Structure 1
Amino acid sequence: MSGAGAPAISIEGGADLKVAVVAAQWHTQVMDGLVAGAEKALAEIGAEHDLFRAPGSFELPVLAKALAEAGSGYDAVVALGVVIRGGTPHFEYVCAAATDGLNRVALDTGTPIGFGLLTCDTEQQALDRAGLPGSREDKGREAVEAAVATALVLKKIEAKR
């Protein structure tokens, strides 16, 4: 099980941030857990946020790019989705395209992208990571914490320029 060695991220000053959450719609139960975990973390941090829904995980990068581009007003974007392996190569294509696309958005725009895309072999693995009652992990929360912590470091770097 992943999660071993995960850092405890302390977030101070996140209340001044505005965060966009973009979440896929496939696998409703898993996605409901990821979104709830992300929104709970954002509420605890005090960051203003908006939620946008994508049809699926493949569409996350284009929406994340629109939300991350200059002038959008967002300090960070959190991308949430899930792809569960099936019997065709579809899994590999969607996972690679979404992952590479989200990374490109972060590098091209300089906006932190919280990576909350679950790429699992089974539905049970996704449920174990969705932040639901009985789940072992809350990847929605973790994606928010990573994006917000990165945004705060970027603000510190910018202040030193």
Structure 2
Amino acid sequence: MSGQGAPTIFVDGEGARVVIVASRWHTEVMDGLIAGAQAALAEAKVTDVTVVRAPGSFELPIICQAYARQGYDAVIALGVIIRGSTPHFEYVSAAATDGLSRVALDTGVPVGFGLLTTDDEQQALDRAGLADSPEDKGREAVEAALSTWNVLRTLG
């Protein structure tokens, strides 16, 4: 598992307005990621949360960008792309990753990166934050975005 060595992050998100943008593909994985993100937001005292579903991971950047431009303090992008036997995986993964980076840089709004790119479904389930999952990437995406939001707030 790649989660070894991950820091423990405690964040204060009180007063933040946050949107979770989640792909519709791979329902079990996505349900886990969303639940982990929502739990982390609640623990961080974020009460203004919107959840939006995207058709797929490729569409995450444009939807995240639209919400970032609407005054949200942080955007949480959740999706899963599982490798297949065609180059589709590489194209969609690269486009979604690059697009989400651009959203953060172009808008100045932190984007929590919860886009799983895995070789198989089991790897995705292992990262989904389910009861038997060793990792919770939905939670980690929230922690990263809110931590970044807190740093940016100190700059004024």
1:22 corresponding residue in structure 2: 21
Identity of aligned residues (%): 66
Residue matched to 2:59: 59
Distance 2:10 2:35 in 1: 20
1:40-55 equivalence runs, <5 A? 40-47=39-46, 48-55=48-55
Looking at secondary structure, tell me which structure has more helix per residue. 1
Q: Over aligned residues, Cα RMSD in angstroms?
A: 0.6
Distance, in Å, in 1 between the alignment partners of 2:34 and 2:58 is 17
Match of 2:112 in 1: 114
Q: Distance in 1 between matches of 2:79 and 2:62?
A: 14
2:143 match: 145
Q: Which residue number in structure 2 is paired with residue 36 of structure 1?
A: 35
Secondary structure at the aligned position of 1:46 is classed as coil
Q: Partner amino acid for 2:20?
A: V
Q: What's the counterpart of residue 92 of structure 1?
A: 90
d(CA) in 2 for partners of 1:42, 1:73: 18
Q: Give how far 1:73 is off.
A: 2.5
SS of corresponding position for 2:134: coil
Runs of at least 5 residues in structure 2 that lack an aligned partner in the other structure: none
Counterpart of 2:6? 6
**TM-score, with structure 2 as normaliser:** 0.98
After superposing on structure 2, the runs of 4+ consecutive aligned residues of structure 1 that deviate more than 2 Å are none
Letter in 2 for 1:19: V
C-alpha distance in 1 between matches for 2:10 and 2:140: 12
Number of aligned positions between the proteins: 155
* Alignment TM-score, normalising by the size of structure 1: 0.95
Q: State how far apart, in whole Å, the 1-side matches of 2:20 and 2:155 are.
A: 24
Question: What is the CA–CA distance in structure 1 between the aligned matches of 2:93 and 2:71, rounded to whole Å?
Answer: 28
What residue identity is the alignment partner of 2:4?
A
AA aligned to 1:152 is N
